Amino acid sequence: MSRVQKGVYVDGHEREDVVQSRTEFIKYMDSQVFPFCYKFESPPDDAETRDLVKIPPILQPGQKIHYPLCHDEMTMHTNDLSTYVWMKDGQQPL
């Protein structure tokens, strides 16, 4: 059994290959997904309500509206509050 402490985790999110992959993903979303999604705009200044205006996409026959589902990279762990873990010598806790 080993005692563990919380530390800073660096995942390499600014590595050149990761930045390139993220850039390609955004280009794909801009060209292949977002054109098929609803858009939301602020109402004119003279509008009685401050609710966003929902604008449907212009679709061709056979095309369908896309609803992207997003998440925030948050993870939950059952052992988050544990300070001791079982692991082989020389291994890092996950």
What is the identity of the amino acid at 63?
A: Q
> What are the tens digits of pLDDT across the range 66-77?
998 877 666 665
Longest dimension (CA), the chain: 68
Mean pLDDT confidence for 6-26: 81
Distance CA 29, CA 23 (A): 10
Q: Is the pTM of this model over 0.75?
A: no
